[in-house]
Amino acid sequence: MSELNFNLRMASEQDAVTISALSIQVFLDTYATEGVRPDLAREAHCEYAIEAFVQRLIEPQRRFILAEYLSADRNGLLGFAEVLLTVKPSPAGNLAGAELVRLYIQPKAHRMGCGRSLLTRAEQLVQAEKLDSLWLTAWEGNRNARAFYERVGYADVGATTYTFQGQTYANRVLAKQFD
């Protein structure tokens, strides 16, 4: 692993601008593997609009943890974890726990420990709320994400689907349970 100097902090409403930009970058890098199709572009502009993140950032049970590059003058966003700290049934695997909604790291910072650090902090928040599990859904074709979650202790507990812009995609449900 290369060295990367980063710091974690909780986000506030003011962070919507950078979270939105990073989300669009990571979303397109991950899913627009055969060019930017109109459905992907629409999803990026709607789901990841600044205002959409402002609304999510003010939801009381939703938390955003940021990983920021540390520099002498200004810090830059490298990635974030978005977690819903509520009891929510998982779409497979018969769990009721917190949901990891997104874990997005800038491509240039992949495999440098940001994802693991953000996920560990998210798990600490979940356990502090006395929730039993943390679950997420990942696109079946996202091999990098599936390898990452397996490496950091998440079990594949079943299948689900995700529909956006009229298209349905096969997803896996991944989860970690806490004692």
Ligand X SMILES: CC(C)(COP(=O)(O)OP(=O)(O)OC[C@H]1O[C@@H](n2cnc3c(N)ncnc32)[C@H](O)[C@@H]1OP(=O)(O)O)[C@@H](O)C(=O)NCCC(=O)NCCS
Give contact residues for ligand X (rule: CB under 6 A): 1, 26, 30, 103-105, 110-116, 136, 138, 142, 144-145, 147-148, 151-152
Q: In the complex, what is the shortest distance from the CB of residue 117 to ligand X, in angstroms, rounded to a whole number? A: 7
Nearer to ligand X, 134 or 138 (CB): 138
Strands 96-105 and 133-139: parallel
Shortest distance, CB of residue 100 to ligand X, whole angstroms?
8
Residue 123 structure tokens: 């798990």
Give me the least distance between CB of 138 and ligand X, in Å please.
4
Query: Shortest gap between Cβ of 106 and ligand X (angstroms)?
Result: 8
Dihedral angle over CA of 28, 139, 96, 11, nearest 10: -20
- Closest residue to ligand X using C-beta atoms: 115
Cα separation, 150 vs 155, in Å, equals 7
Would you list the DSSP string of 1-24? -----EEEEE--GGGHHHHHHHHH
Rank residues 16 and 106 by Cβ distance to ligand X and give the closer one. Answer: 106
* Token pair of 160 as six digits: 């689900």
Which residue number, 86 or 139, has a Cβ lying nearer to ligand X? 139
Is residue 63 a contact partner of residue 82, using CB atoms and an 8 Å limit?
Answer: yes
Q: Closer to ligand X at the Cβ: 105 or 134? A: 105
